Structure 1
Amino acid sequence: MTAIYIGVMTGTSMDGVDLVAASFEPLHLHATLTVPFDPDLRDELMALTLPDDNEIDRMGKADVALATMIGHGINQLIDQNKLDRSQIKAIGSHGQTIRHRPEYGFTLQIGDPHLITEITQIPVISDFRRRDMAAGGQGAPLVPAFHQAMFLHDQIHRVILNLGGIANVSLLPAGQPNAVYGFDTGPANILMDAWCERYTGQPYDENGNWAAYGTPIRSLLDRLQAHEFFAKEPPKSTGREDFNLEWLDEQILDWRSDLEYDELEDTPENIQATLMKLTTRAIKKAIYRSGLDTGEVYVCGGGAYNSHLLDQLRWRLRKHNWSVQSTEVLGLAPTWVEATAFAWLAKCFVEHQAGNLAAVTGAAGPRILGSMTIV
């Protein structure tokens, strides 16, 4: 009987909960579903990513609300697709990150696994990141181990680029599983989405059309790139704590007070174009510094559907003839890569296999990630 694992992912962009039912060896997706957030819950989760009043009570309520949403979403996934519950070994639930502070050895994801188990009557593997942190790691990114297992090629260098709220790269040298590494490169959609929503009322910049209308502002770009994260060497990870709309507003305010400020450049679309260049330049730097001469870049996450962003990446990587395309070409649609990764991590836990790559996170060695909530 084929073992099925359910993966649950809600990322930094908080645009919904992605659910997949997957089996492995070979990889096969039996069912997929995205459950959109209730706007009030999304607003509360967004607010909880930064310090504020009465955090513990508010976090507790959001923890229950999110778990209830996930649990009923999983039941919907199973029932709509007539999945055999006896085949489902476990649920891998990442939860919603509301604070990630690797410098303190601390990360927090909410979405109560006990409640998810109670609603679904299926064991839940959760809290994947803290075991890696306990071993001295960043707790992120965790997906490179999955990328290695699924996408490593014997003869072609590959980069798997995840463009969620934060951008991260998995660098897969051809035929060298022990040389795989990866890290967060900086913001992807997190700033562009927030800026777009403020000035256009749309939750994201469809196809990057608004950014394409603008022109990047060099002086502002230089200021944004002065953030200490960009100068750090891997292993490194980041999140909404470092890159958020409040931080961006502060940088723009400082830029406007600078002697080199040119008010003719100061338009919302030019700032959007600058944010896109901030993202693509950091990705280019990561790939060119990898030591890989040329190869294939496969993009997943919501940013994979931003055609202007992908065109900008192709242009920036043209020097070494890197191709840039969606993970759809590899048989896994960009939307489902991360949720599938957490289904795979649940499988690793059940089979007592390590789920991290120490070279990626900086942990002392391989670790079995997560904790199980049994039925």
Structure 2
Amino acid sequence: MTTHGDDRVSGKRTYRAIGLMSGTSMDGIDAALIESDGDGIVQRCGFLSTPYPDDFRARLQSVMGEVGDISGVASELTERHAAAVSSLLALEGVARDSIDVIGFHGQTILHEPERRRTVQIGMPDLLARETGLPVVFDLRLADVAAGGEGAPLVPVYHRALTRELGSTVAVLNLGGVGNVSWIDGNQAAGPEHMLAFDTGPANALVDDFVQARRGARFDAEGALAAAGHVDDLRLADLLSDPYFDKPPPKSLDRDHFVRRAKRAVEGLPDEDGAALLTAFSAAAVALAERWFPHPAEQWIACGGGRHNRVLMTMLAERLSAPIVPADTLGWNGDAVEAEAFAYLAIRSLQGKPLTFPGTTRVPVPLTGGTLHRPD
């Protein structure tokens, strides 16, 4: 492995890394290129999102819960990730041999931290051979094995991005599942002072509902929900799930709320069902505020859900502090999770902690990941 170089100002060694993310929305691969020292230096260098074709997305959905043709899907998933790496390098005009490491998340198909189990499919050795680059994989396993939640993993990267803001913020990722990183604005506070947890559903429930009812991948800009009415009694029933009373750190399997949600939308018109599930996602985020050590001064929204105007409006109405899309801060709100896995891969190479007691409930700050070389 060759390091990319030394930062001219700080003198710290920096690495060039690619992060690959296929999240709980299962809509495609996000690939991001960054340069970082694994601490406070982060330079974003490129991003590419590659949607999954419908037939592969269906195959991916078929192995959720660790069933079906897992090896076949894992092989195809890995080949698609290798192609995403090549496409990103070509798009940005970056030489392959200038990359130090790939952070490969894989696809979560089962997450049961209470049983010390989490399963991300993918073939890191195959990805290393196909790309000719070192790959860090299994970034959740060590945390779960030590009694942590294994999620969310991105808070330490959120801290790197927000450390210059000088205010207490809540960084909200709206993927299939929502997760929040509460980051103390006190500049002396280290990563051990972060709090992070899954808030509840974000896009997954409404995406699945719209696909089942309308054959669409998602409710574009919340248009279907905007035409509907929220049934407050049904919403209250959704919010009565015991998960919301469980103190953080805590995490969720993608399908945790599926049965309850199916009962809630039964008999509702499409518009009302979409409105209800969107409101559920927003209300779940608002409930997260009660766990913060002290109030956030600002919420920063990342992920695909920030494009849903109805969801963002519902969040603004329910939260006690303003919420802004990450893009208003100069970030690429679609790229943050993939960037985070590049950053985590660098920290894994360095043996630095990825997770902390306040982010995953792991007993002590803990590194993680397994390194797979192309030879």
Matched, 1:225 2:225: no
User: Offset of 1:144 from its aligned partner?
Assistant: 0.9
Aligned match of 2:283 in 281, 284, 292? 281
Matched, 1:184 2:186: no
Aligned match of 1:138 in 149, 155, 164? 149
Matched, 1:236 2:250: yes
Q: Secondary structure at the match of 1:335?
A: coil
Matches within 5 A, 1:54-133: 55=68, 58-133=69-144
Aligned match of 1:198 in 197, 212, 221? 212
User: Offset of 1:10 from its aligned partner?
Assistant: 0.5
Q: Which residue of 2 aligns with 1:326?
A: 325
User: Offset of 1:202 from its aligned partner?
Assistant: 2.0
Contact kept, 8 Å, 1:50 with 1:241, in 2: the verdict is: no
Task: Give the whole-Å Cα distance in 2 for the aligned partners of 1:81 and 1:190.
Answer: 31
Closer, same or farther in 2 for the Cα pair 1:103/1:251, shift >3 Å? farther
> Which structure: greater helix fraction?
1
Task: Give the whole-Å Cα distance in 2 for the aligned partners of 1:289 and 1:181.
Answer: 9
Contact kept, 8 Å, 2:41 with 2:160, in 1: the verdict is: no
User: Offset of 1:40 from its aligned partner?
Assistant: 2.1
Task: Give the whole-Å Cα distance in 2 for the aligned partners of 1:188 and 1:224.
Answer: 14
User: Offset of 1:210 from its aligned partner?
Assistant: 1.4
Task: Give the whole-Å Cα distance in 1 for the aligned partners of 2:64 and 2:334.
Answer: 23
Amino acid at match of 2:62: A
- Cα shift readout 1:4-33 (whole Å, capped 9, x = no counterpart): 100000000011000011112542222211
Matched, 1:30 2:45: yes
Percent of residue pairs identical: 32
User: Offset of 1:307 from its aligned partner?
Assistant: 1.6
Q: Which residue of 2 aligns with 1:260?
A: none
User: Offset of 1:72 from its aligned partner?
Assistant: 1.8
Task: Give the whole-Å Cα distance in 1 for the aligned partners of 2:98 and 2:47.
Answer: 16
User: Offset of 1:369 from its aligned partner?
Assistant: 1.4
Q: Which residue of 1 aligns with 2:10?
A: none
User: Offset of 1:288 from its aligned partner?
Assistant: 4.0
Task: Give the whole-Å Cα distance in 1 for the aligned partners of 2:164 and 2:365.
Answer: 22
Q: Secondary structure at the match of 2:118?
A: strand
Contact kept, 8 Å, 1:153 with 1:174, in 2: the verdict is: no
Q: Which residue of 2 aligns with 1:157?
A: 168
Closer, same or farther in 2 for the Cα pair 1:269/1:250, shift >3 Å? same
Segments of structure 2 that go 5 or more residues without pairing to the other structure are: 6-14
Contact kept, 8 Å, 1:7 with 1:93, in 2: the verdict is: yes
Task: Give the whole-Å Cα distance in 1 for the aligned partners of 2:294 and 2:201.
Answer: 23
Amino acid at match of 1:61: G
Q: Which residue of 1 aligns with 2:9?
A: none
Q: Secondary structure at the match of 2:249?
A: coil
Q: Which residue of 1 aligns with 2:225?
A: 211
User: Offset of 1:226 from its aligned partner?
Assistant: 2.5
What is the TM-score when the length of structure 2 is the normalising length? 0.90
Task: Give the whole-Å Cα distance in 1 for the aligned partners of 2:27 and 2:332.
Answer: 17
Task: Give the whole-Å Cα distance in 1 for the aligned partners of 2:230 and 2:84.
Answer: 41
User: Offset of 1:353 from its aligned partner?
Assistant: 0.8
- Cα shift readout 1:223-264 (whole Å, capped 9, x = no counterpart): 2222222222112100223133x55324545xx7xxxxxxxx
Contact kept, 8 Å, 2:176 with 2:203, in 1: the verdict is: yes
Q: Which residue of 1 aligns with 2:63?
A: 48
Task: Give the whole-Å Cα distance in 2 for the aligned partners of 1:12 and 1:86.
Answer: 31
- Cα shift readout 1:266-305 (whole Å, capped 9, x = no counterpart): 3221121111111111111212441433511100000011
CA RMSD of aligned residues (A): 1.7
What is the TM-score when the length of structure 1 is the normalising length? 0.90
Contact kept, 8 Å, 2:265 with 2:273, in 1: the verdict is: no
Task: Give the whole-Å Cα distance in 2 for the aligned partners of 1:241 and 1:316.
Answer: 24
Q: Secondary structure at the match of 2:335?
A: helix
Task: Give the whole-Å Cα distance in 1 for the aligned partners of 2:46 and 2:345.
Answer: 17
Q: Which residue of 2 aligns with 1:11?
A: 23
Task: Give the whole-Å Cα distance in 2 for the aligned partners of 1:44 and 1:250.
Answer: 26
Matched, 1:248 2:261: yes
Contact kept, 8 Å, 1:190 with 1:243, in 2: the verdict is: no
Contact kept, 8 Å, 1:207 with 1:305, in 2: the verdict is: yes
